[in-house]
Amino acid sequence: MNKFKKIASYIALASVAGTMVAAPAVAHHSFAMFDQTKILQKSQATVAEFRFTNPHSFVVVNVVRNGKSTRYVLECSSVNMMSRAGWKHNTLKSGDKVDVEFYPLRNGKPGGMLKTIKVADGRTLSGW
């Protein structure tokens, strides 16, 4: 019986290890959901949230047009790549006014993949 328990524990350990190795591959997705033939621009958007996280960061902005506010969730690159391009965890703060360019979602919902953002201090940063 002890031999059986030992073998079962090795199998369980191998299963957990295999799952941990496969998790990053499952988490990654393609960029097919973004229409990279179009670039939308939104001026004077207001930052609602900045998530400087892996595997992808996100900038959430509100855009007011004709009295109606629309929230856009814009996907960015990884913390590592963004840091190399000049981003920091505090680059954006809630309430900052920014200009954004992004590739829209193919399904027409408000959001997309951030191309560039002009931040409050005048710098233009790339989302990728």
Q: Write the pLDDT tens digit of every residue in 54-67.
A: 999 999 999 999 99
Q: What is the pLDDT of residue 29?
A: 61
Confidence of residue 19 (pLDDT cuts 50, 70, 90): very low
Does 118 score more than 70 pLDDT?
yes
| Mean pLDDT to the nearest integer, 109-128 | 96
For residues 60 and 32, the model is more confident at: 60
Residue 65: closest CA among 48, 45, 50? 45
Residues 6+ apart with CB under 8 A from 98: 45, 46, 47, 59, 61, 92, 117, 118, 119, 120
* Mean of per-residue pLDDT scores for the chain: 86
Going from N- to C-terminal start, the domains of the chain cover: 40-126
Which spans in 28-118 are helix H? 79-84
Q: Report the topology of domain 40-126.
A: OB fold (Dihydrolipoamide Acetyltransferase, E2P) (2.40.50)
Phi, psi of 80, rounded to the nearest 5 degrees: -60, -50
User: In this model, does residue 10 exceed pLDDT 70?
Assistant: no
Closest CA to 79 of 91, 67, 68: 91
Return the pLDDT at 34: 96
C-alpha span between 44 and 103 (Å, rounded): 18
C-beta separation of 113 from 34 below 8 A:
yes
Is the model's pLDDT at 23 over the cut of 60? Answer: no
